[in-house]
Structures are given as structure tokens and as C-alpha cells.
Structure 1
Amino acid sequence: MNEITRRFVVLFNEEEDFYECHEIFEWAWKQTDDPIDGPFYKALVQVATAQFKLKKGVLCGVRKLYQYAAPALDSLPDVVQGIDVARLREDFRRQVRSLPAKDYIAEGEYPQYRMQVIKIHWAET
């Protein structure tokens, strides 16, 4: 795993700074031509952006980003750069299934619907 991925996970899990996650992995995604890392970075940009939309209450945006990210996540190995992609796939899928049948809710209101932002987990070694 590289330092960019390490920083992404800290921003995602601890700081929940999904905007900055998007910025650093979008840069990484555009810099690589690696057949695994490129789709990995792109998918995680989309997952981070979906979490940003969730916090803002834009549920239709979460669903749309899931449609973009799911095929990329499904194409990846179960572990990439030490990240448990298989768990991320399932957690994101579960999150989207649990969304209320609304396009929008008030910003920050998602916990009232028993929703939470997802976390990225390291693969067990």
C-alpha cells in the first residue's frame, strides 16, 4: 500500500473528510495506468463522494454513485493495497439498500433513519 492510500483511509474513516478523499484519489486515479489501481482509485472516489452526499442528505446522489461504483468494485480483487474490497462492496450495497425511499432528507439527518457512513477496513492477514 502506498502513502496516498494510507492518507485516504485516515481521511475517510477518522476525519470523514470525503471531499478531500475525492481530491487525493481523483489525482491518483488520473496519474496511473495500472489495471487494478486505476479502477480501485476511481471506485473509492465514487464511494467517498457517495458518503459526502449521504451526509448532505442527497440520497438520489448516493444511489447514482452506487450505480457507477458497483461495477468497478465488482471487477476488483477482494483485497487491493491491503484494503478489504469485498467488505467494502457488501457494506456499500447494504447501505444503499437501507436508504429510505426519498431523494432528499435534511443535511445531517441520516442517523435518524438508522443510517451511518461506511468505513474502510484493512484486510486481515
Structure 2
Amino acid sequence: MNYPSAYLSYLAEFNGTRDFFECHELLETYWKEHPDDPRAQSWVGLIQLAVGQYHERRGNLRGAAKMYEKALSKLDRSSLEQLGLDGKQAISDLSRRYDCLQNGQSLPYQDITLIVKDPELERQCILLCESLQADWGSSSPMDMDELIHRHKLRDRSDVIAERAAAIEAKKRNRAVE
């Protein structure tokens, strides 16, 4: 099967570098550039899974639970298996993390690993991991603030400018009414 390169990169980051923020960025860009992709719901679910892992690793358990719940509403065994993954295991792992958080159980953080069943997809992801100097299936480095709190370190000037322009446009529209 032919998978988008953004998806391969997502898997290499998810199971290799454990840079869940980057996973979100990669797949969100692809999803937005391909709004009619029949797998759009799966892409969004995988984005939400990565964001959930990012939140949980940072200790934002409420945010993680919310993202896991959204991911579970979009992902299913069949769609994940069409993406070369072990859908049963992925849904089971995600459900278990969500249930624990929902029930107020504070377990030590543990990465979810997406098991790749498509041998060619796995081979490509492992090669990509090597180019990223990451080990496929490694655990999150819990002592790297630049990875764990990455959202605080990024340049958000474009987002801030866009929001300010939207507020100004709303003010202008209200003044005209």
C-alpha cells in the first residue's frame, strides 16, 4: 500500500523520537492540505492521539483524557488496520489510557506504541528513524524539557498576528452593522 510521507514521518516521530508535538504538526499539515482525503477522520484521530500523549507526558491529565476521548470517537480497528497498524492493540491501549484517566487513576506516564503490521511500512519507518537518529520503539526521554514542553518554545508570532487581524475584522464588521 502507498502511504503519504507525512504519515510515515508521523509514525517515525510517534514510535521513535516521541516528539508528539511534531507528530501533530506533520499530520495536521497533511490533513489540511488534503481536505477530501477519505482517511481524514483517521488523520484527525491520530493527531488527537499524539496530542493526548503530549498532554499526558506533561502531566496535563485532563487535557490528555479529552484528546483520548476525541481520538476514540474517530479511530476504529478497521481504519487503523487499513493504515498498516494493529488496530485492535491501538484501540485497546488508547481505551486503557483513557479509562484510567477518566477514573482518576494517576498511573506513571507510559508511551503508547503503534504496532505496525505492514512489514514494508515498518521498514520505511525504521529507516526514517535512523535518519532522525532515533530508535524505533524507544521510550520518551523524560528529562528533555525542549521535547516535553515544546509548545512553549515555538514561534507563535504568525498565530498571534492572525488572531489580532480576525479581532480587528470583527470590530470593523460590528461598526458597519
Q: Normalization by structure 1: what TM-score? A: 0.80
State the 1:81 CA deviation.
Answer: 2.5
Write the letter of the residue equivalent to 2:42. F
Paired-residue identity, %: 29
Gaps in structure 2 of 5+ consecutive residues: 120-177
Q: For residues 17-63 of structure 1, what are the alpha-carbon distances to aligned partners after superposition, in whole Å with 9 as ceiling and x for unaligned?
A: 0000000000111122122x211111000000000001110110111
SS in 1 for 2:76: helix
Partner of 1:77: 79
Structure 1 residue 66 displacement after superposition: 1.7
Report the Cα offset of residue 124 of structure 1.
Answer: 5.5
In structure 2, the partner of 1:25 is 27
Match of residue 67 from structure 2: 65
Q: Which runs of 5+ in 1 are unaligned?
A: 103-109
Instruction: Considering fraction of residues, name the structure with more helix.
Output: 2
**1-side partners of 2:29 and 2:88: how far apart?**
24
TM-score, scaled to structure 2: 0.58
Q: Alpha-carbon deviation of 1:78? A: 4.4
Q: Pairwise CA RMSD of aligned residues?
A: 2.1
